[in-house]
Chains A and B, each alone.
Chain A
Amino acid sequence: MKHMGFKDFISERWQIIKINTVETFMLQLSSIFENWIVLITSFFFVIINILFINVLFTNVSTIATYTKDQMILFSLIGNLSFFINIAWSADNMASLIYGVNKGDLDLILSKPLPSLFYVTFRKIDIFLFVKGFVPGAIAYIVIIKWFSLNITFESCLAAIVIFIAGQIALNFFQFLCVIPVFFRGSAEQLMSLSWAFEYNLGRMIPLEGLDKFFRILFITLIPVMISTGLTTSVLLNKSDLLLSILFSIVVSIVFILIKILLWKFALKNYTSASS
């Protein structure tokens, strides 16, 4: 493994992603009832969200400098972040908790695989993303008055980069919440705490709604606002594009490095659950 060339390194990881994506897709196709439930619930959730924003804007004209259309856009990006996170990160982190407790991780560690990469991309549920996000997104896209938004080509590109970095950061935060499973055997409640941050903060409050200290806190130590608040802010040209891109890239690289170190540390302390 140590003498693996860069080409082999990439090829091995690409194979893992490809196989896991296809397997997850096949598995998802088998549950027709669940698929319809996901589609209906996600769409209903979006309708409630739009209704919520409409109710708010019958009483106020702006929320943290955001107009109604900007808030709906923020909600759309929050939804996108949620489903992308579910599709590649959250489920895999929950599986890690299960794997540590049930001995499933032993099986992974015994294989000649890059274990951290494998547990990170064990399931890539593109189908869940499509059925969960797309119908609601259509509703958002139809409702938003796009001409009223200050979106440029540059801000779009910057937002995409920041969004990807934000997803890496969010995955790191969830990983951080899951790591205690190696030491105390459970992490479900910590994982659900991470959801509380993501759902109640990342998807509800625009970045501009917080004061400076909390803005920095929630894009660094508890990075739940990069893929939602910061992305929307940059997309709408409310934040400095270059500075935000640089910041996001640096933060995500730091998180990846810490994640690798934490994984090595956790494995050293890992006591197998199976015989």
Chain B
Amino acid sequence: MDIVIFTIKRFVEVIFLIVFWGAVSNGSNLDLKTLTSYFLISGGVAELIMINNLPVGDGIKGNVRTGQLSNDIIKPISIFLAQYAAKLGSRVLIPVTSIIMIIVGIILIGNITLFGYLYFFIALIIAMFLSYSFNLLLGCLYLITTSTYSGITSIINQSIKFFSGALVPIYFFPDGLRQIIEFLPFNFMIYAPTTALLEKSLNNVIVKNVCISLVWSLVLLVISIYLWKKSLKKYEAYGI
């Protein structure tokens, strides 16, 4: 039952975002069909790569609060991967609904080339690595601070939402800001996979974007794994 409610919640969020953009586009020259397909696909991508609300990193907060982490540390398991698996299990319907959302978005766009699908798939995998790193970094933050205030997740989540194109497509930003955002890792988590579907053939911009995103994913992965190991050593458990 909880899984169904969770799924409904996610649908509600995406539908209201579309309704909001309906209000924005009303009376302007913005195309609601394009915006709807954009938010359906970006919403699906955000859930597939587990970047929306950073559930894995946020889960670490819960384990710190309950003291469960102290029990997990002494077990011969990777705490973070175990948390990842637990979240995957508790969100079993989410991948299904995410894929449905993406398919509906694709139908609305229509006329997508094989190259578009291929580029989307590559961008999605890179986005998964980036999301993994961000979840890991959030987990580190909770380990270091042992804070249980959700605001930490909220501030990171809000930044990701805004700069990744989950809330507003990057092409809406003024030129100066857009050029900066295009180099940030947030851009490659949602906006890049979503717009990848529109690409028809390989060009310099795509090569540049793939290279930048690969560098980001590698750098962030190395940093996050290093920090995770450091923070585990520094973690001060409370309780007996």
Contacts and interface: CB of A to CB of B under 8 A. Distances in A.
Please name the 9 residue pairs, one residue from A and one from B, whose CB atoms are nearest each other, closest first. A209-B23, A41-B151, A189-B5, A200-B16, A41-B155, A64-B23, A189-B2, A60-B28, A196-B9
B2 A45 contact: no
Interface string B141-174: 0000101010110110011001000011000111
A275 B162 CA distance: 49
B147 A59 contact: no
Contacts of A263: none
B19 A209 contact: yes
Interface string B181-193: 0000000000000
B13 A60 contact: no
Interface string B13-39: 100110110111111101000000000
Interface residues of A, number: 37
Interface string A194-206: 0011001100111
Interface residues on B, range: 35 or more
A192 interface: yes
**Which applies to chain B's interface (DSSP): helix, strand, loop or mixed?**
helix
Contacts of B27: 60, 62
A55 B23 contact: no
A56 B1 CA distance: 37
Contact of B168 (A56, A192, A196, A201): A56
**Which applies to chain A's interface (DSSP): helix, strand, loop or mixed?**
helix
A67 interface: no
A207 to B, nearest CB: 10
Given A33-B145, A60-B30, A210-B23, 18 more contacts: A38-B149, A41-B152, A41-B154, A44-B159, A45-B158, A48-B162, A51-B162, A52-B162, A55-B172, A58-B172, A58-B173, A58-B174, A61-B28, A64-B26, A189-B6, A196-B12, A200-B12, A204-B16
A55 B168 CA distance: 8
A209 B173 contact: no
Contacts of B172: 55-56, 58-59
8 contacts: A45-B154, A55-B168, A58-B174, A60-B28, A63-B24, A64-B23, A193-B9, A200-B12
A34 interface: yes
Contacts of A192: 6, 9
Contact of A37 (B5, B8, B25, B147): B147
A22 interface: no
Contacts of B23: 63-64, 205-206, 209-210
Nearest to A66: B23
Contacts, number: 97
A92 interface: no
Contacts of A41: 151-152, 154-155
Contact of B16 (A56, A61, A201): A201
Contact of B158 (A44, A55, A196): A44
A154 B19 CA distance: 31
Nearest to B4: A189
B162 A59 contact: no
Interface in A24-78: 33-34, 37-38, 40-42, 44-45, 48, 51-52, 55-56, 58-64
A212 B12 CA distance: 19
A121 to B, nearest CB: 22
A188 interface: yes
Nearest to A35: B149
Contacts of B158: 44-45, 48
Given A64-B26, A196-B9, A204-B20, A37 B173 contact: no
A144 interface: no
A155 B54 CA distance: 41
A134 interface: no
B20 A209 contact: yes
Contacts of A197: 12
Contacts of A20: none
Nearest to A41: B151
Contacts of B154: 41, 45
A186 interface: yes
Contacts of B173: 55, 58
Interface string A201-237: 1001110011000000000000000000000000000
A190 interface: yes
Nearest to B23: A209
A55 B174 contact: yes
